[in-house]
Amino acid sequence: MKVVVIGAGLAGLCAARDLQRAGVEVVVLEARDRVGGRLEGGEIGGHPIELGGTWVGEGHARMYELIEELGLQIFRTWNDAGQVLIQLGDKRVLLDGTQGAIPRLNPIALADLAQGMARFGSLARGVDPAEPWSHPKAHHLDSQTFETWVRRNLRTAAGRAYFRVATEAIFAADAADISLLHALFYATSNTDLETLMAVDGGAQQDRVVGGSVLVAQRLASGLEVRLSSPVASIAHDDTGVTVTTRDGDAFAADRVVVALPPTLAGRLTYDPVLPAWRDQLTQVLPAGTVAKTFAAYPTPFWREQGLNGQVACDTGPVKVTFDVSPPDGEIGVLLGFVEGGEARRWQRLSDSERRQGVIDSFVRYFGPAAGDPTAYVEKDWSAEEFSRGCYGAYFAPGVWTGYGDVLRPPIGRIHWAGAEYAVEWNGYMEGAVRSGSATAREILG
């Protein structure tokens, strides 16, 4: 058997590796001049940073196994000392970073947030992440936005603001962009909302020494990967497939794995064309909008102020920050996320305006010392030709109930893989790894 894998991200590489280990002849075609997909390494102040996917955390068993197998090491996200800054409206509070992700608000707002979290958690536990559309009230849940639910179930401005900031941080989209059913699916796919937001015991717990892109690079080392080979078309019938690149190179195989985000998979030419429902699915699954911004300083000075570098704020452009300094603390590095509607406005600014907006946000959170970084780096994933956004696809109202059952099944000899297709840990590196292996099993079966 011969299989062509399109895309050298984690899902594509894991699918290719599993197939190759089973004796299948595999070639991976990657549009970029590097492997990793939505993982990308960068540098600031002479130290590595993750321009793309960054963290592994609680429950990411396959990623931890892979990291160890590939001879890599992890280190904890800085969270052991200092406090998280939560700023909602004119209320500025500090939260012990080791005590979860719920801020100490006034009693009324805190009670409101607690009941909102409880209601959301109860709803999410009733959703099957393998078949969200099978929920008894799926159409009701999928006919409204998450913003609608927030307005109906949170009574205080602070409670609503907290859910909106969390939505931007998790989905790189606004609460008004996504279906309530999708928010519930995503939370239960990733254990719960608290896990998604937490550091210790949560999804942002650990980082890979040297950067997460090393996982992809070491996975690719034993595979035939052809870089700078963007695919243009897939011809398929009952006997096999032919994958053709933009340069005209053709690869005949028995099957093909399309390990691309759905919106990019929909831009390939298929002969014969895909069924209408599958093609329309790719039209209604946009990627989130996010830019990662980094500022380097001679030291992680915020730690001296009793802060751990983590911020959640309802005023942008940067609303969420992390301390991503190297493990030895030789320099200080702040990571600021610009996401959702905020990112759509920010990315239209000039280079200097974008940079100033980010630095102004850092100064607002950490004081004047943040105003003079020694280096600055930004990465707008929406501008990437072969990503067109991050972290992953989001489902607007009506998409799960209208198209969910055609998301994962293959179309003849065309199979799908990626973080968006994962049942568990959807949207994370863990989900991509699991999806790639599941697709390999599907083909071998």
pLDDT of residue 29: 98
Q: Indicate the SS3 state at residue 112.
A: helix
Alpha-helical (H) ranges within 213-323 are 213-220, 262-265, 276-283
| Main-chain phi, psi angles of 311, to 5 degrees | -135, 145
Q: Are 219 and 70 a contacting pair, CB within 8 Å?
A: yes
pLDDT of residue 106: 74
Please give the angle made by the CA atoms of 36, 42 and 47, to the nearest 5 degrees: 130
Burial 269-280 (b: 16+ CB within 10 A, else e): ebeeebeeebeb
Which two tokens mark 203? 């999804």
Burial 297-321 (b: 16+ CB within 10 A, else e): beebebbeeebbbbbbbbebbbbbb
DSSP 329-377: -SSEEEEEEEEHHHHHHHTTS-HHHHHHHHHHHHHHHH-GGGGS-SEEE
Please state, in angstroms and rounded to a whole number, the distance separating the CA atoms of residues 171 and 169: 6
Tokens 């019938």 map to which residue? Answer: 237
Q: What is the DSSP letter of 274?
A: P
**How many angstroms from the chain centroid is the CA of residue 12?**
16
Distances in Å between the Cα of 256 and the Cα atoms of 179, 261, 301, 414 are: 31, 15, 50, 5
pLDDT of residue 94: 81
| Main-chain phi, psi angles of 53, to 5 degrees | -50, 135
Sign of CA dihedral 294, 158, 172, 429: positive
Residues forming a β-bridge with 292: 337, 379
CB atoms within 10 A of CB 372: 11
Residues forming a β-bridge with 49: 42
Model confidence, pTM: 0.95
CB atoms within 10 A of CB 89: 13
Q: Indicate the SS3 state at residue 13.
A: helix
Q: What is the DSSP letter of 165?
A: H
Please state, in angstroms and rounded to a whole number, the distance separating the CA atoms of residues 219 and 93: 43
* CATH class, 2-38+213-274+411-444 region: alpha beta
Q: Indicate the SS3 state at residue 137.
A: coil
| Main-chain phi, psi angles of 50, to 5 degrees | -100, 110
Q: Are 214 and 390 a contacting pair, CB within 8 Å?
A: no
CB atoms within 10 A of CB 445: 5
pLDDT of residue 87: 86
Encoded amino acid at 319, one letter: K
Q: Are 363 and 301 a contacting pair, CB within 8 Å?
A: no
Which two tokens mark 21? 């280990």
Q: Are 304 and 77 a contacting pair, CB within 8 Å?
A: no
Please state, in angstroms and rounded to a whole number, the distance separating the CA atoms of residues 160 and 137: 24
- For the chain, give the number of residues: 445
pLDDT of residue 156: 94
pLDDT of residue 22: 98
pLDDT of residue 286: 95
Which two tokens mark 313? 């704020």
94-100: long-range contacts, CB 8 A cutoff, minimum separation 24: 94/306, 94/307, 97/199, 97/200, 97/308, 97/310, 98/200, 100/194, 100/198
Please state, in angstroms and rounded to a whole number, the distance separating the CA atoms of residues 189 and 183: 10
Tokens 């963007």 map to which residue? Answer: 230
C-alpha count within 13 angstroms, C-beta hemisphere, residue 64 = 11
Which two tokens mark 151? 């307005």
> What does pLDDT average to in each consecutive run of 10 residues of the chain (445 residues)?
98 98 98 98 96 96 98 92 82 69 72 95 97 98 98 94 95 97 98 92 95 98 97 98 98 98 96 97 96 97 94 95 91 97 97 98 97 98 94 96 97 98 97 98 97
